[in-house]
Amino acid sequence: MQFELAEEHRMLKDLVRRFVDQELMPLETAVMRRDVDTGRPGLSHEEHARIDRVSREMGLWGLDAPEDVGGVDLPMVAMVGVNEEMGRTITPYTLPPDSPNLRMMMATVNERQREAYLAPYVRGETISAIGISEPGAGADPAGMLTRAERVPGKDGGEDWVLNGRKIWISRAEEADFTITMAITDKEKGARGGVSAFLIDKGTPGFNVLRRIPMIGGAATYEIALEDCRVEGWKLLGTEGQGFAPMQLRLGTRRIEMASWSIGMAQRALDMIVEYAPQRKTFGLPLSERQAIQFWVADAATRIHAARLMTYDCAWKLDQGRDVRVEISMIKAYATEMAYEVVDHAMQTFGAMGMTRELPLSLMSARLRTMRIYDGPTEVHKWVVARNLLGSKR
């Protein structure tokens, strides 16, 4: 059994670590100030452009994109290290292109869509969103009601007309296109009746109703699809078979989330380890107190466990194995673990831990949302248990 990362993947992880330390960490003070002043802890346009240029020059774009559209085609094990390093900072930045929709498109695009959507996406020229959740269907997307109906199109072809409502959609306002899930066969539902559509920004009938501020500086959007006409060739993948590539997309994000969580927990642990020996109460440093020692020991143990589980899951995925249960395990375990480790760091720092001048409060709020999106913890635990209990029946 080999527990070492391949040399080139370790070097890549080190490179991303340097990028985070030198480029993203120095922006954290400004990000926190913006969070306090405006509730939007983001980068300015200039900062974003500069970070884009630097990360591109460092060769950090398209890491897991296919080579034929300009990517490096790295396996998932390599991406775990990349995302662990990216998770250490609260400066919000995604190395283009964002992997989940990339993976979904890689599994589904035809030649025309490859040219029109995938290639510009890999080049970092476009931003995408995914529209799955609805007011009545979140944790259980099979309950979605948005309908897509076939209508005669121009040139004797066929178009689709979508009607319904989506909610909690990240980036919906700025995205150049939103992959929108809809029912194309009501009888079959999630088993052969859900399809994916590429809907461009500004398409008539694709109405972004409102921005919904979330905790941690995130924002989502509510969308009304009102007779939204989509050209036939923008059906992504096979009609009715949208659920499996959508799950592939969700799985990619869940492994990323586990990796980010490990990075965040590691940062919080490093902060405790640095601070606890310096702060004295009742004549002794905090590091001499068993309560804090237990937090340190438990955090180190659980980070180690989460890291091993995440690499194991990524490796199995790279081997083409079915990792649905492992993905649920790591998504639930790593996000909950990191939330608790960050909470213990906040407690260790006392009043300083309650300020918005340390990265801990933003990390905590982000992890709080991560315990919900891409499947709440309870649903992932249910998946694991159902798999075990079901197999005993």
Ligand X SMILES: Cc1cc2nc3c(=O)[nH]c(=O)nc-3n(C[C@H](O)[C@H](O)[C@H](O)COP(=O)(O)OP(=O)(O)OC[C@H]3O[C@@H](n4cnc5c(N)ncnc54)[C@H](O)[C@@H]3O)c2cc1C
Which of 120, 122, 77 has the alpha carbon at shortest distance from 99?
122
Binding ligand X (rule: CB under 6 A), the pick from 168, 177, 275, 349 is 168
Cβ nearer to ligand X, comparing 249 with 307: 249
Please, what sign has the CA dihedral across residues 38, 40, 24, 56?
Answer: negative
Q: With CB under 6 A as the contact rule, which of the stretches 258-266, 290-298, 338-346, 368-376 interacts with ligand X? A: 368-376
- CA torsion angle for 4, 20, 338, 389 (degrees, to 10)? -50
Quick check: 251 binds ligand X (CB under 6 A)? no
Binding ligand X (rule: CB under 6 A), the pick from 97, 138, 237, 263 is 138
Binding ligand X (rule: CB under 6 A), the pick from 25, 248, 379, 384 is 379
Cβ nearer to ligand X, comparing 26 with 135: 135
Please, what sign has the CA dihedral across residues 102, 10, 342, 338?
Answer: positive
Q: Rounded distance, CA 290 to CA 307, Å? A: 25
CB of 385 to ligand X, least distance (A): 9
The helix or strand, by DSSP H or E, that contains position 190, with its residue range, turns out to be none
Quick check: 271 binds ligand X (CB under 6 A)? no
Quick check: 58 binds ligand X (CB under 6 A)? no
Quick check: 170 binds ligand X (CB under 6 A)? yes
Q: Rounded distance, CA 21 to CA 58, Å? A: 14
Binding ligand X (rule: CB under 6 A), the pick from 145, 218, 296, 384 is 218
Quick check: 131 binds ligand X (CB under 6 A)? yes
C-beta neighbour count of 369 within 10 angstroms: 15
How many positions of this chain bind ligand X (CB under 6 A)? 23
Chain position whose Cβ is nearest to ligand X: 138
| SS3 state at 196 | strand
Q: At what angle do helices 243-275 and 76-87 cross, to 10 degrees?
A: 40
Quick check: 220 binds ligand X (CB under 6 A)? yes
Q: With CB under 6 A as the contact rule, which of the stretches 108-116, 163-171, 227-235, 261-269 interacts with ligand X? A: 163-171
Binding site for ligand X (CB under 6 A): 129-133, 138-140, 168-170, 214, 218, 220, 369, 372-376, 378-379, 382
